[in-house]
Amino acid sequence: METELDCDVLVIGGGVVGLTTAVVLAERGVRVRLWTRDPVGRTTSAVAGALWWPYRIEPEASVRAWALRSLEVYGELAARPGTTGVRMVEGVLGETAPDEVGAWAAARLPGLRGATAEEYPAGSGVWARLPLIDMSAHLPWLRERFLAAGGAVETRTVADWAEARAPVVVNCAGLGARELVPDPAVRPVRGQLVVVENPGIRTWMVSTGADGAMAYFFPQPGRLVLGGTAEEDAWSLEPDPAVAEAIVRRCAALRPEIADARVLGHRVGLRPARHTVRLERAPLPDGRLLVHNYGHGGAGVTVAWGCAEEAAGLTAGWT
């Protein structure tokens, strides 16, 4: 027989959304335990290129609020990049004009302007200074911040809500919510990346070619991350050599020096996509509280803090 857990809230999911939610709750004085199927270095979040920008995520109005709150937090964390993994880095959003960036974001992004032809020869683009997060540093930092606030982490897979014997359960299971809830609306969007030695590139770039194929590169400490793909309903975690070659080729078309960069590794992640983020209360049959916080697609990093604070607010009165 399952026994009650020694906590007020159990957070399920150890990616960026789950960890951030756990941090917010613990720092509010709540006794929190986090269950994660994978260690931080093997979560989907660990694979993310991690540029702050809403990508494949709805609903629009809520996303704006969540993203702006997260932008505010990342701006503060960027004061300690070596510790938090967060830096403010300039770069180009291709195929975008300044007037296509909503006023909601433009007002909070000083220095936003049209890219010059030298900065983006491929066409129109926007030059912006955005948070770029090194997930290999940020995820462990979140975990340690959570532990320092009194939280506890356990590596454990959950198959049924009955196992989660806490007064409040917060579901940040990402793609795992497809089976756990169950929610067939959660679908994988496969992303493949190539990691290369950085040939001296200090700015990021995101571009979409005439054929709709993405190309982006993000300078992270000690490496350059190249992308990418967005394959819907693809489950394979094995890197495809042909896809990797195409990624390098597309990125080299933007910055020729990338063509000769030594490949350091390959990454594949499955974005937990859904037609809309599910962030709401859903009481369990036995009267306990369940709060869902999943379906962030490729924008988990972008909205993590805003969603975490809203999810924590939904536990009010129960903790």
Binding residues for FAD: 44-45, 158, 297-302
Beta strands per DSSP E along the chain: 9-12, 32-36, 86-94, 113-114, 125-133, 152-155, 168-171, 187-196, 204-208, 214-220, 223-227, 231-232, 263-273, 278-281, 289-294
User: Could you give the 3-state DSSP secondary structure of residue 262?
Assistant: coil
What's the DSSP call for residue 212?
Answer: S
Name residue, tokens 């967005």: 230
- Write out the binding residues for D-dopa: 216, 271, 298
- Helix residue spans in the chain (DSSP H): 16-26, 60-77, 81-84, 103-106, 135-148, 177-180, 241-254, 300-314
- CA–CA separation, 284 vs 288, rounded Å? 5
State residue 292 phi and psi, 5-degree precision: -90, 140
Q: Which residue, 184, 215, 188, 212, is CA-closest to 49? A: 215
- CA–CA separation, 160 vs 89, rounded Å? 42
Q: Is the dihedral of CA 276, 309, 54, 175 positive or negative?
A: negative
Going by C-beta distance under 8 Å and a sequence separation of 6 or more, which residues neighbour residue 241? none
Q: Which residue, 32, 15, 302, 267, is CA-closest to 140? A: 15
For residue 153, give Cα distances in angstroms to 11, 12, 13, 22, 85.
9, 10, 10, 10, 21
Going by C-beta distance under 8 Å and a sequence separation of 6 or more, which residues neighbour residue 315? 9, 25, 30, 168, 170, 289, 291
Q: Which residues are paired to 169 by β-bridges?
A: 10, 290
- Write out the binding residues: 44-45, 158, 216, 271, 297-302
